[in-house]
Amino acid sequence: MDHLTLKALKPTEYAEAADGYRAISGMADAAKERIDKQITAAMRKANEGEAADAALKQLRKLSENFHYTQVECGLITGALDGFSSEISAPKRRLTEALDDAAALAYTVNQDGTITYPAGGKNELTGEPIPGGTVLGNNGMITGNDTGLQSPGLVPNNPQFKNPNPHHAKAVDIADRIAHAVREAQEIDDRYSKALNKLKAAPGLNVDTKTWADVASDVDSVSSAASEYLRDHIPWDKSPADRKEWWDSLSNEEREEYKAAFPEIIGNLDGIPSTVRDEANRENIHLLIAQLEGQHDEASKEKLEGLKGIQNKLNAGGQPPMFLLGIGLEGNGRAIVAYGNPDTSKNVSAYAPGLGTKLNSEFSDGTVKRAYYTATEAQKFDPSSSSIVWLGYDAPQSIDVMTATDAERGAPTYNSFMSGISATNENADPHITAIGHSYGSRLVGGATQEAGGIPGADDIILVGSPGVGVAKAEDLGVGKDHVWVGAAENDIVTKLPSSKEAVAGTMGFFGGGPPGAYLGGEVADQGDDDIWFGKDPASKAFGANRFETLPGPELVQPSFPDVLGSKLDIEAHSNYFSPEEGKDRVSAQNIAAIVAGHPEYVIRETPR
């Protein structure tokens, strides 16, 4: 890149090329839709046998080809638009510098140097001070790539003052030209690298490896366009501001963002749920391809979780499923809703706890809790949606003993809840925050952030080891809107407080089991403190306790069977499930609260 190339470059031509690729992407998407929803469906209905099976196989292949074309052309569109936007700034600065040179009658040479005329007068001879030629300093290297600028005394070194009044002006113009060219070169290098990766080989067969390459292409385009994205997406604004930004875009701009940057749009709080779902359905396809063939345990677990979620998405059903977030960072991210959170009057978001991560257990079990809550709540009010939010790294082991993970996740949870409020189309939606197990500690931490949990009307805490506050009224929604479920045989709701644990241990070594008991009693004389503070199910906490089934009794294996055994805490996991043998009472109570009908809640006396 030199100043002559930059001068001749027309950003609008790249924007026009982006329009062309955008049109191709749209046509490929329409063709895929027609194959999948019309032609394939009609063939299945009208034909059977080997010939029909072979034809359907070819149609699936053709659909994949159109899908590939749609995605790749969408990426090219994003890259070209990003380049057109970014390159405009250095081109504008170059044009301004060239105009200044022309106004002063300076000559801009082909190598970018500036020749200026004689000017001023030599005080000794009375002769005009001769003109000269200066080379711009781009801040790193000289214009002719001779290496770092010499530290010696050169004509444009500030230690040397040239008496010709034109010299300083020429140096300023030369430096501006050099800076503009350097910036343009950096932009050109970034986008050229990304676009080169998007070249497809002739006769390409679209398979799993191809989609893995597409996932890499998405990363490349996002990386190349990072400056463009920083300038155009309101990262540092509130979800409400992002919603306003999204609404201000044209349909073409929205389609481009979804196609070129699905991993960003799909996880951006403040973007409408249907848009996030569409982007994430595209992105989960790419993430699966990215993990295929990975042999480490973490990748295998995430792949199983992703495939489980994708299978549910493909299966359809009622209430409709929305994928509001997906990602591979940390232990994995996934946000799944049943029912549209933007159109529903009642919306709940449940934060899970210990051991939760993106794996098959999450896709098969944890996600089902949101499904149960949505279907049960819709019996009270059909306009109800329920979400499971895995937007943080839940503790996996001994780290559950600290509040660190909860405090890290709380701001992210609040951002999501703010987005739910921003995109909901109802004038005054009823929003419920739900925390289960360690997730209740996260919800408690979220209430202590500035402004509390955005939009929350009710808070439900189930299987809670404490929430970090002493009273229900400290959670910011009024104690009458705090609800607690604690099964009789759920050991997590009866964990000793940290003070009890220390005092009991000291008492044991001082006086055996009686000493341990006495020490614990002294440390918690009200018997209402548990690990993370006051027991939410206690009278002292002041919340509404709702009825739950007791759950299976905790059976402690005798020695030596206890070695290598797994503690059975089924009572801790039943709160959301209305299935036979689980906890239909708790599930219905949770649903009534979520649907905004507390009059149907069966209450239980606090401990």
- What pLDDT digit, counting tens, does each position of 219-254 carry? 788 788 888 888 889 988 999 999 999 999 999 889
State the average pLDDT for the chain. Answer: 87
pLDDT of residue 161: 77
Mean pLDDT over 439-455 rounds to 97
- What pLDDT digit, counting tens, does each position of 95-130 carry? 999 999 999 999 999 999 999 999 988 878 888 899
pLDDT of residue 556: 53
The pTM of the whole model exceeds 0.85: no
pLDDT of residue 151: 34
Structure tokens at 571: 């009572």
pLDDT-derived band of residue 499, with 50, 70 and 90 as boundaries? low
Q: Rounded to whole angstroms, what are the CA distances from 327 to 254, 284, 330, 332, 380?
A: 21, 8, 9, 6, 34
pLDDT-derived band of residue 527, with 50, 70 and 90 as boundaries? low
Alpha carbon distance 378, 347 (integer Å): 11
Mapped to the 3 state alphabet, what secondary structure does 534-574 carry?
A: ECCCCCCCCCEEECCCCCCCCCCCCCCCCCCCCCCCHHHHC
pLDDT of residue 498: 61
pLDDT of residue 593: 98
pLDDT of residue 140: 65
Mean pLDDT over 121-143 rounds to 80
- What pLDDT digit, counting tens, does each position of 583-592 carry? 999 999 999 9
Mean pLDDT over 373-391 rounds to 98
> Over 60: is that where the pLDDT of 48 sits?
yes
Mean pLDDT over 522-528 rounds to 52
- What pLDDT digit, counting tens, does each position of 320-340 carry? 999 999 999 999 999 999 999
pLDDT of residue 51: 73
pLDDT of residue 138: 80
- What pLDDT digit, counting tens, does each position of 57-97 carry? 788 788 888 888 888 888 898 889 889 999 999 999 999 99
Q: What is the DSSP string of 39-88?
A: IHHHHHHH--SHHHHHHHHHHHHHHHHHHHHHHHHHHHHHHHHHHHHHHH
pLDDT of residue 142: 45
Structure tokens at 234: 């309101």
Domains of the chain in start order, with CATH, are 3-197 (no CATH), 239-495+531-600 (3.40.50.1820), 496-530 (no CATH)
pLDDT of residue 287: 94
- What pLDDT digit, counting tens, does each position of 163-203 carry? 899 999 999 999 999 999 999 999 999 999 988 888 877 76
Residue 19 CB burial class (10 angstroms; 0-12, 13-18, ≥19) = middle
Per cent of the chain over pLDDT 90 is: 62
pLDDT-derived band of residue 497, with 50, 70 and 90 as boundaries? low
* 160 SS3 class: coil
